[in-house]
Structure 1
């Protein structure tokens, strides 16, 4: 379906530019702050070094353009920044940020080392071209490579580690969410199969027995030998069996289809209502009274609507309380109370002690699951159920059910209640540690990954290990480079005593034994600062180890023909 384009002619220029910009506001603010800072540092330092405002301004403009383009062209900006950093000191901050962007944005594993190798080569070339120490290329490479490792490679590795960690976390979250969805689907399928099996068992066993009770009760009701009192009792029994049959059909339908029973039609309205809600508590009380039990019903407070699940729980609590009183305390007075409190409905069913001399009924048959089911039903709607004996020797069953829509809420003790449709305990994380195995909570599917990988300690540890490796390697390389530099310098330096002890006419071999071995780039070009070189002579130049003095030794025919000293111009 084609969506009509929103007209933009009436929008102000700022709004149109913001709508057309591919950058989020956070990045725009960051670039507005970062770009002038990088450009200002480079331009100011270069202006101070060269004394030219024009050159400083041109460099600042170049740095600003590179800073804005470092995300779109990370490899290119990294190499250009490396070349600039080797020639201009003020561009080192740009190299750091360019390396940070390149480390996370160059995705191909081969391209990233190639970009950093090219950047190191460019940095080395520009550094060697501007070298004034006069040392060998090997020493220059060692001395120039160390700053590049610290300012470029370390930020790049840290950025790449951070980006890969975020990508891994995103992939784990997506995978975990998919597993949770699949697990919920499998659990739902298993529940549906189990429901169908239970429904079939209930239909085959209970349905048959209830049907027999209804048939025999109907036949007994028309027996002419029964009096009116007996016939009324049999009618109540037959009606109870019919009600049980209707409830069984509803329960079997819910178990099979997983939905609530449909609303009763016109035909059902003609029969006694079987709606299991708080409004039907009167019918439960009336049925118990018809069976001969002394039952009283009390209502207090302003009646308020309940959620469907809570309304159904009210009916079940009263039904279970009356059933237990009939079974365990036959003939005892029963009190049913519905109290509408400001924040919840209190349902209470209490029976007194069994009267003395009351006829004992048949042994009560109890599966022990009624009260457990009530507590679970109340928990699912955000309520609670309390049971216990009363001071007069009776028994009390009370339930507290909240008003509202019945959505999940939390109690003060920290327990969480969930809606009926969201109760996946035992399948997607409602179990405890004792269930055997890891538990993924439904409310936070990424909890175990957050506990394993989102800790700041792990991030700090990874960065610290990377930094330690790089610092140790860089320190070793720098130490080796400084050692080489000292060796290079030592080849062109002699003490003043060597110059003073040498006399014209001494043997060249004896004097050369006092000279250091090898040539040094430190003494290249120093002959231009002194007197003209004598003809037909071989001269050696050295620098004093303490003062800026050049010593010249000239040899002819294996003898020292002359020696001279003059200031060393650095």
Structure 2
């Protein structure tokens, strides 16, 4: 790849749509400006042109660190030792970004190693006579400004990736569990449908045949024949409803369209059948008639049917009022019966004995699924009232169906993953054992990279920690060679024998005093001098107190105290 194509590819990556949002543009600009100003301020001693150039280079590298993480990290390693404060801050930012964006563990290791080598090489080039000091403190600085931020961001990114993978697998588990439960429900519905068809269908067929034969019996009176006809029609209607329910149970499909006799428009026929059976029922309609969704239309019919059935069982002989009131936003269906006449109390008690208690529960569920509600309770006159509110708009029903799920609310983890929901489709895993699932997650290439990266990072930290411990020990040993207490300095007198004086003083040969000796006055002619550092830090950490002892003709000829700015 030549320079032109490389530059074109870099420009495309920098100007990629979505790469620079307004928030990121402001943040990156502020960060680049801050790093550039810090770098320029630290280089003012070399002149304004050098300071401006250093600031521009640091700012440019800061803007490029997302696109070229490895290259910027290597360049920051070189600048970090050349430019003191600005370069170190750039190194920290570049390492933080590189820890996340360099894909492979080996690539990241190579990039950090090259950056560290350049960091130490340029530091040694600046101070060639302080090798041990540069190696020890350079390693500590690189560990603090590069390795720790890089490993921290890499671990944080890998942890988020692993958590997202676990969440995706959790969603897949929920999706598969929903599919398994759906299949189980379908099989159970088919079994129930078969049982209903075999048992109830047979019994209803016998009732229809027997009542049909009884209806043509010549010995019956006209009123008896009319009652038998009502029973026959009821059994035929029950057979028809049973076939509809069995079909729904077998297919597992909702009731999209109902026969005309099973919707609100068929309530008139339902009431006529109840009146023919001897019940006192009246119907009242109010408001402008408006169409309902098919499911809501059928629910209104079921409310009236359940109300009439309950009144027949629990309040035989009582007056029943059916009220259909079309409100602006919903249909109000109400069935209210009066108190039970005294002579019918025994029949009402017998009706309660055969009540299953499931009709009202089913009605409430039907109403909820269409976005409505059902109310039950005693009426003001001592009777009973059943009312339902059914909205015209089916949007509420759609929302209600979305919330209807077989997963219990306390056990629903889909809230953890907004991006993917169980109903959105997607791959389905083929195992439910958590141990196998975890093994599958950890066997992926990305997860292996996470583990290898964590192990390599841990090894690097251990090696650097050991090197830092040995380095600190070496610094302490070097300090013992060149540092003395002010009391020792006062105890030595000019004219004392050189051998006696040197027995009280340390060796004095260390890299710690090489920089200080260059700032001292020239040694007196004909004398050999020994420069040592004082343990007294009362003048501050930026000022070194230096004791110089000069010998001539086997005696201490001069001792002086200097205060050198570091």
Q: Distance in 2 between matches of 1:359 and 1:531?
A: 132
More helix by share: 2
> Conserved in 1, the CA contact under 8 Å of 2:370 and 2:397?
yes
- Residue 197 of structure 2 corresponds to residue 225 of structure 1: no
- Residue 356 of structure 2 corresponds to residue 367 of structure 1: yes
What's the C-alpha RMSD, in Å, of the aligned pairs? 3.8
- Residue 264 of structure 2 corresponds to residue 278 of structure 1: yes
5+ long unaligned stretches in structure 2: 1-11, 420-457, 535-543
Deviates more, 1:215-224 or 1:226-235: 226-235
Partner of 1:423: 404
- Paired residue secondary structure (1:397): strand
Residue number among 490, 493, 499 corresponding to 1:500 in the alignment? 493
Residue number among 147, 152, 158 corresponding to 2:141 in the alignment? 147
- Residue 377 of structure 2 corresponds to residue 388 of structure 1: yes
Residue 240 of structure 1, CA deviation:
1.6
Residue number among 504, 515, 536 corresponding to 1:514 in the alignment? 504
- Paired residue secondary structure (2:92): helix
Q: Distance in 1 between matches of 2:41 and 2:319?
A: 98
Residue 88 of structure 1, CA deviation:
0.7
- Paired residue secondary structure (1:347): strand
Question: 1:23-44 deviations in whole A, cap 9, x for unaligned?
Answer: 2424444333433332333234
Q: How does 1:32-51 map to 2 (within 5 A)?
A: 32-46=29-43, 48-51=44-47
Q: How does 1:442-461 map to 2 (within 5 A)?
A: none
- Paired residue secondary structure (2:400): coil
> Conserved in 1, the CA contact under 8 Å of 2:74 and 2:114?
yes
- Paired residue secondary structure (2:331): strand
Partner of 1:241: 235
- Residue 322 of structure 2 corresponds to residue 325 of structure 1: no
5+ long unaligned stretches in structure 1: 1-15, 265-272, 410-416, 433-438, 448-465
Residue 331 of structure 1, CA deviation:
1.6
> Conserved in 2, the CA contact under 8 Å of 1:493 and 1:544?
no
Residue number among 176, 181, 191 corresponding to 1:182 in the alignment? 176
Residue 202 of structure 1, CA deviation:
0.8
Deviates more, 1:392-401 or 1:291-300: 392-401
Q: Distance in 2 between matches of 1:21 and 1:49?
A: 42
Residue 510 of structure 1, CA deviation:
2.9
Q: How does 1:101-500 map to 2 (within 5 A)?
A: 101-131=97-127, 137-260=131-254, 275-358=261-344, 361=347, 363-364=350-351, 365-407=354-396, 418-419=400-401, 423-425=404-406, 428-430=407-409, 432=410, 439-440=411-412, 483=476, 486-490=479-483, 497=490, 500=493
Judging changes above 3 Å, is the alpha-carbon distance between structure 1 residues 422 and 186 closer, same or farther for their aligned structure 2 residues? Answer: farther
Judging changes above 3 Å, is the alpha-carbon distance between structure 1 residues 19 and 277 closer, same or farther for their aligned structure 2 residues? Answer: farther
Partner of 1:553: 551
Q: Distance in 2 between matches of 1:369 and 1:398?
A: 16
TM-score by length of 2: 0.76
Residue 146 of structure 1, CA deviation:
3.3
Judging changes above 3 Å, is the alpha-carbon distance between structure 1 residues 296 and 165 closer, same or farther for their aligned structure 2 residues? Answer: same
> Conserved in 2, the CA contact under 8 Å of 1:139 and 1:481?
no
Q: Distance in 1 between matches of 2:359 and 2:546?
A: 105
Size of the alignment, in residue pairs? 495
Q: Distance in 2 between matches of 1:366 and 1:325?
A: 12
> Conserved in 2, the CA contact under 8 Å of 1:221 and 1:234?
yes
- Residue 500 of structure 2 corresponds to residue 529 of structure 1: no
Judging changes above 3 Å, is the alpha-carbon distance between structure 1 residues 331 and 74 closer, same or farther for their aligned structure 2 residues? Answer: same
Partner of 1:99: 95
Q: Distance in 1 between matches of 2:231 and 2:265?
A: 23
